[in-house]
Amino acid sequence: MCRVFNSQTPSADLKKKKNRMEEEADTGVSSRTERKALEKAKILQRERERKIFRLVGRVLKKPEADRSEEEAAVLLLHGETVEELCKRQVRTNVLKRKQEEVFDDADELKSKVRQLAVAVKQAKHLVVYTGAGISTAASIPDYRGPNGVWTQLQKGRTVSSSDLSKAEPTLTHMCVRMLHKEKLVQHVVSQNCDGLHLRSGLPRHALSELHGNMFIEVCTTCSPVREYVRLFDVTERTSLHRHGTCRRCSHCGSELRDTIVHFGERGTLEQPLNWKGAAEAAKMADVILCLGSSLKVLKKYACLWCMNRPASKRPKLYIVNLQWTPKDDLAKLKIHGKCDEVMSLLMEELNIQIPVYDRAEDPIFCLATPLRQEEVDSHTREVIAPLDGQEDCLPDSGEHAEEATAVQGGWFGRGYGKGRKKKKKAA
């Protein structure tokens, strides 16, 4: 038997392997060098483009008559940059116009309110959509107004936190409640979390708080979901995707959570959001009145606008807002005025007296669930103080406290109604 031996020696194999490794190393160094060179070239290119944009921008700011021949030549040489900067300026001007507050003069305002009054009287199913603009009179900042939260942040300014517990229902809140009482308004859909609609006395079944209520925390472990109404802002420790309030359900011991729908979230709680009530009201509406809302968020909720219907069969839209809204072109009437002023004129046209908010009749004091002894120090927010002599309405312990926590369906739910009847019979 013949054996075939490899003619190459082990040293030759090692040499070949070493050569291959050196070649691969050279290739790796080469590719890294190329990548770095490419990245450097991109950085230099961006820097050149920035310089050109700055140069062209300075020239465009000058009146045409004041430009030198060299500057005119720069504009001719960089035509694409000139075109892009002009487009940007147009977009900026449009945005500024949309942010400007426009006021109708006194005569025009009265004329528009008269048209609105006719629509309110003739409406078979009127639904009101409210935004932050109806609460500015209560010293609660809006979002997109001249002094709004987003406006200030865009300018790089700090936003001071306001104590919402000191706010009280505004004239607009009281007007809306009265219009519902007079059966002229069937449902209210609010983006606000300040709880002022309910504190005005508006029944819970007639309200959808799409973004939650700062005074309500809930136990989602209990079935149905158990609500706890508090006299302070329960959102002290909550934020995006973090809803725990560090207090516990008195029935099952689970951690309570706030009801707020933070930016970037989708609300799923049945109450106080009441999406079902909002969608059903929008479906039945023949008139929608928008008060103090930019509608930039509400426009995204397709179920509120009946856009699947032909234009002639959609609800007639009336908007009261000082700034542009994305629904202006679809509106039957746009009123540029402050909500309180417009609603005051409207109630005058309808010959309906505007009720004054009375803290002694604020339902929150009778419906609030007291904190347990171990929870007294669970927050640092200011508590809404009752008027002198109103302390008797506050539940403190025992059966009264149990009754308050058992309210299902909200502040004006059936549980609350039954509790009130029992008290009257006992009296």
User: What is the pLDDT at residue 37?
Assistant: 87
Per-residue pLDDT, 158: 54
pLDDT band at residue 110 under the 50/70/90 scheme = very high
**What average pLDDT does this structure show over 29-50?**
86
User: Which pLDDT score, from 0 to 100, does residue 25 have?
Assistant: 59
**Residue where one domain finishes, among candidates 366, 395, 418:** 366
Asked whether residue 58 falls in the same domain as residue 163, the answer is: no
Pair (45, 142) in one structural domain: no
Flag whether pLDDT at 146 surpasses 80.
no
pLDDT for residue 367 is more than 60 = yes
Cβ neighbours for 288, distance < 8 A, ≥ 6 positions apart: 126, 127, 128, 129, 282, 315, 316, 317, 318
Instruction: Give the span between the Cα atoms of 186 and 124, in whole angstroms.
Output: 9
Percent of the chain past pLDDT 70, that is, above it, reads 77
Q: 102 versus 407: which is more confidently predicted? A: 102
Which tokens is 275 given? 């999406």
- The mean pLDDT of 397-406, rounded to a whole number, is 38
Q: What is the pLDDT of residue 14?
A: 67
Instruction: Report, as an integer, the average pLDDT of 223-233.
Output: 91
pLDDT at 421: 40
Q: What is the CATH number of the domain that holds 281?
A: 3.40.50.1220
Could you tell me if 293 and 206 lie in one domain? yes
| pLDDT on residue 408 | 32
**Is 62 in the same domain as 110?**
no
In a domain, 191, yes or no: yes
Same-domain check for residues 51 and 199: no
Element (DSSP H or E) covering residue 402: helix 398-405
| Average of per-residue pLDDT across 87-106 | 87
Q: Does residue 106 have a pLDDT over 90?
A: yes
pLDDT tens across 268-303, in order?
777 778 999 999 999 999 999 999 999 988 998 888
Mean pLDDT, range 238-263, rounded to an integer: 90
Query: What are the distances in angstroms from CA 414 to CA 124, 217, 419, 421?
Result: 27, 19, 9, 11
- pLDDT tens for 330-353 read 999 999 999 999 999 999 999 999
Is 310 a domain residue?
A: yes
Regarding predicted confidence, which is higher, 227 or 158? 227
222 is in an annotated binding site: yes
- Quick check: 188 and 282 in contact, CB under 8 A? no
pLDDT at 27: 63
Residue 391 domain flag: no
Q: Which of 366, 387, 418 is the last residue of a domain?
A: 366
CA separation, residue 260 to residues 213, 264, 273 (Å): 6, 12, 9
Residue 16 maps to a domain: no
Pair 289, 150 in one domain: yes
395 cis-preceded (ω within 30 degrees of 0)? no
**Token pair in block for residue 286:** 């023949």
**Within-domain flag for 8:** no
Mean pLDDT of the chain: 82
pLDDT on residue 24: 60
**DSSP secondary structure, 175-217, as one string:** HHHHHHHTTS--EEEE---S-HHHHTT--GGGEEETT--TTEE
Domain end among 327, 346, 366: 366
- For residue 415, pLDDT beyond 80: no
Choice between 19 and 152, residue whose per-residue pLDDT is larger: 19
pLDDT for the residue numbered 379:
87
Same domain, 178 and 154: yes
Q: What average pLDDT does this structure show over 256-273?
A: 82
- Give residue 411's pLDDT band: very low, low, confident or very high (50, 70, 90): very low
Peptide bond into 272 cis (omega under 30): yes
Active site residues: 211
* pLDDT over threshold 50, residue 2: no
Query: Is 339 assigned a ligand-binding role in the annotation?
Result: no
Domains held by the chain: number: 2
* Domain interval for residue 319: 106-211+273-366
Q: Residue 151: is its pLDDT beyond 80?
A: no
Lowest mean pLDDT among 31-40, 107-116, 142-151, 212-221: 142-151
* Residue 335 covered by a domain: yes
Residue 257: helix, strand or coil by DSSP?
strand
Of 50-54, 229-233, 336-340, 401-405, least confident by mean pLDDT is 401-405
Q: Write down the pLDDT at residue 392.
A: 56
The annotation status of 366 as a binding-site residue, yes or no, is: no
What is d(CA 122, CA 28) in angstroms, rounded to the nearest whole number? 79
Q: What mean pLDDT comes out for the span 174-184?
A: 98
What the block records as the tokens of 162 is 């306001």
Q: Give percent above pLDDT 90 in the chain.
A: 45
**Whether residues 51 and 158 fall in one domain:** no
Closest CA to 168 of 402, 24, 403, 359: 359
Question: Phi/psi zone of residue 190: left (φ > 0), alpha (ψ -120 to 50 degrees), beta?
Answer: beta
Higher pLDDT, residue 241 or 216: 216
252 annotated to a ligand binding site:
yes
Residue 134 forms part of a structural domain: yes
Nearest by Cα to 237 from 253, 256, 250: 256
Q: Do 50 and 198 fall within a single domain?
A: no
**Within a domain: 5:** no
Choose the weakest-confidence range: 141-155, 279-293, 385-399: 141-155
The better pLDDT of the pair 53, 333 is held by 333
Tell whether the model's pLDDT for residue 35 goes beyond 80: yes
Mean pLDDT on 65-83: 88
Regarding whether 323 and 182 lie in a shared domain, the answer is: yes
In a shared domain, residues 185 and 308: yes
Q: Are residues 55 and 82 in the same domain?
A: yes
Over range 293-322, report the average pLDDT: 92
Nearest-10 crossing angle of helices 106-122, 339-350: 60
Does 140 score more than 90 pLDDT?
Answer: no
